[in-house]
Amino acid sequence: MSDTPGVLGAIEAGGTKFLCAIAGADGRIIDELRIPTETPEQTLGAAGRFFAESIAAHGSLAALGIGSFGPLSLNPAADDYGHITTTPKPGWQNADLIGHFREVTNAPIAFDTDVNCAAIGEHLFGSGRGLDSFCYVTVGTGIGVGVFIAGAPHGGANHPEAGHIPLPRAQGDEGFAGICPFHGDCAEGMASGPAMRARWGQPAESLPDDHPAWEIEADYLAALCATLSYVVRPERIVLGGGVMEAPSMLGRVRESLLRKLGGYDASLAALSMGDYLAPPTAGASTGLTGALALAHRTAYGEWPAGWSPEP
Amino acid sequence: MSDTPGVLGAIEAGGTKFLCAIAGADGRIIDELRIPTETPEQTLGAAGRFFAESIAAHGSLAALGIGSFGPLSLNPAADDYGHITTTPKPGWQNADLIGHFREVTNAPIAFDTDVNCAAIGEHLFGSGRGLDSFCYVTVGTGIGVGVFIAGAPHGGANHPEAGHIPLPRAQGDEGFAGICPFHGDCAEGMASGPAMRARWGQPAESLPDDHPAWEIEADYLAALCATLSYVVRPERIVLGGGVMEAPSMLGRVRESLLRKLGGYDASLAALSMGDYLAPPTAGASTGLTGALALAHRTAYGEWPAGWSPEP
């Protein structure tokens, strides 16, 4: 066993894949594992074996950071602290992530949402750099929102679930009931990738750029951004995820948001939409990087300085 | 001149009246003035004379706290810092509150929204006591939202304007365009007191308790509360203002919010609505008390301890 001092562990626990990594205190990745998300037994088992072998090879972890799909229980006083709670993902309701990985690693564990971890990555290395407050929105198989306030991920009584807010219907979209099993036509129910597929009978990526779907989609995402603007008053909103990769989307959301704000409030009216709504720039592994940074803060009491983002 | 050490000043600047007060460091009010909100020249002039006379009688102010109707510019780096900005209130656009009262009092000035000051009052003496995070919502001539996060009023890049978020139409309310001059059918445009009056042709307080207006109103306020719940994840939402004085309103909003949350997210599903949605309990002068507390924090670096709320 080669003892590497201060080795950090991280997990990006997604609905389709788990990324596990260990890194030095300098953020350099020593070893990683990518596994599909199957049953908790299979996936947590494989991830646990990865960390057990890492510890055998490199010594104990200074801390482990976990960024997970949710909803999660983030309240340390709650009985279910560290669990995934009411997810519709079969088998994962009440999965006890902290309990499992504490047993395997015996390390202090930092636990937050996948989107808050991605926001941490953007804060350190991407479009949130230098900002005290910003929102990170990802539009893909769901709609996730990470909120940074005063330079740290916002928790409140638990974590934001702003992808589930009620929104007005876009013009021309009155007939679609929405697909959220809890709310029907909340933001995620109307504007996630699977909602677009259900609404139009084909995956979003196969819709031509002049299809009316995109204006309707932009309307919902702009309404979500208007709400975040009025409630959080962030310095920026970072908009990513598969649906935002459609070439015209970011421009359409910017135009729609400008119309929706309607010139209200001088400090909002003065914003340049091109600067205010930005794409993520911290790279595809921003969630894993954020989970590693969370481990660093847990082990050393501060965000890492001087790390370079992994390619 | 009898020099009172550490005397604090406060202004609750509302759209219909200004309350001005000076108090000792113990929060006990020494003198106060209530004046109608007319032109800035008249009202700011009269308030200025009150403080000039107070200073002549009691000595200089340790600090002045101002809680004002808005929107406001709260960013100290902005050219218009301390101004009311795009208010529809005639004559008050760009009124420079900090500039005026700095000239009159020569004191350090703390400046926040009327609703954040009311939230401070509720935090110290009312339904927000002991809570790290809560929202204060007032539904009257407008809809104002104060947000407490980590034990302090939330600013972000500026202050929340969550009364202006887009909301889905309530069933049966499709024909009404809303009255917000900026957004038409935002929350305030659909559910403020004047919106109810415009929608039903009579003031809200004259509508009988079994009028369909109340279910529609509860639907909008519950949608606002659902949004605040998902974005801020507060420990509580305090709901006040003239419209909330209708006897059945709080109960209706609780029932509607429970339906809207739809059992999503264990930590939200576990909430008791009777505890989560609460009436304000800090008294009618909570905004003035909050502005005084803000002055205390500015003068002495901390929230006051041991004050009793004014009756």
Closest CA–CA distance from residue B177 to any residue of chain A (Å): 13
**pLDDT(B237) > 60:** yes
> What's the pLDDT at B156?
74
Domain B8-116+283-300 has what CATH class?
A: alpha beta
All structural domains of chain B with their residue ranges: 8-116+283-300, 127-278
Virtual torsion, Cα B179, B181, B183, B186, nearest 10 deg: -40
Residue at A222: amino acid letter: A
User: Which residues of chain B neighbour A133 with C-beta distances below 8 Å?
Assistant: 156-157
Examine domains A8-116+283-300 and A127-278 and report if their fold is the same: yes
How many CB atoms lie under 10 A from the CB of residue A45? Answer: 15
How many CB atoms lie under 10 A from the CB of residue B305? Answer: 7
Whether the Cβ atoms of residue B24 and residue B304 lie closer than 8 Å to each other: no
Closest CA–CA distance from residue A171 to any residue of chain B (Å): 12
- Residue A81's pLDDT band, with cuts at 50, 70 and 90, is very high
pLDDT tens string B45-84:
999 999 999 999 999 999 999 999 989 999 888 899 999 9
pLDDT tens string B129-146:
999 999 999 999 999 999
pLDDT tens string A138-195:
999 999 999 999 889 998 788 999 999 999 999 989 999 999 999 999 999 999 999 9
User: Is cis: bond before A71, omega within 30 of 0?
Assistant: yes
The pTM of the full predicted model, rounded to 2 decimals, is 0.94
- Which residue in B287, B284, B240 sits closest to B11, CA to CA? B287
Q: Residue A259 has what DSSP assignment?
A: H
Candidates B133, B145, B165; nearest CB to A157: B133
> What's the pLDDT at B208?
96
> What's the pLDDT at A168?
97
Among chain A residues, the shortest Cα distance to B148 is held by A156
Query: Would you identify the CATH topology of the domain B127-278?
Result: Nucleotidyltransferase; domain 5 (3.30.420)
Distance, in Å, from the CA atom of B122 to the CA atom of B134, rounded to the nearest integer, reads: 10
- Which residue in B268, B259, B262 sits closest to B230, CA to CA? B268
- Residue A234's pLDDT band, with cuts at 50, 70 and 90, is very high
> What's the pLDDT at B178?
97
Query: Looking at the complex, does the CB of residue B227 fall below 8 Å from at least one CB of chain A?
Result: yes
> What's the pLDDT at B309?
63
pLDDT tens string A98-112:
999 999 999 999 999
How many CB atoms lie under 10 A from the CB of residue B223? Answer: 27
User: Which residues of chain A neighbour B230 with C-beta distances below 8 Å?
Assistant: 160-165
Distance, in Å, from the CA atom of A90 to the CA atom of B37, rounded to the nearest integer, reads: 59
